[in-house]
Amino acid sequence: MRIGLDIDGTITRAPEFFAFLSKVLMAAGHHVAVVTHRMDRRLTEEELAEYGVQYHELILPEEFDHEIAEWKIEAFEKMQPDIVFEDMLDVVNGLSKSIVSFVPLSHKQGELQYK
């Protein structure tokens, strides 16, 4: 399988979980890609290493003259994932319906709330 992971609002929300998940997926032979709209590759690589998140490829934009959700939809579609972990509903709703998506939610006062 091909797995796409977002960083901000996803990996950053549960870094220990995504460190475990990425390690298990890679050990099982699955392809893990991190897709993020960050500017600094080196700092992003360092942060992912601190979290313990493993991946085959890190996908960042080459230019920043576009809308974030549109870029992320295009980047995810290009990598052809089977499963995506992403916190932006605009991105998830824009993906091909064949892609299984997981969106992190916060639990507050007994209700599920999107953040």
pLDDT in tens, 29-73: 999 999 999 999 999 999 999 999 999 999 999 887 789 999 999
Distance, in Å, from the CA atom of 22 to the CA atom of 61, rounded to the nearest integer, reads 22
pLDDT for position 110: 52
Which residue ranges form the domains of the chain, and what is each CATH number? Answer: 2-113 (3.40.50.1000)
Is pLDDT above 60 for 91? yes
| Confidence category of residue 17, pLDDT binned at 50, 70, 90 | very high
Q: Which of 64, 54, 60 is nearest to 29 (CA)?
A: 54
Structure-derived torsion over alpha carbons of residues 94, 95, 96, 102, reported in degrees to the nearest 10: -130
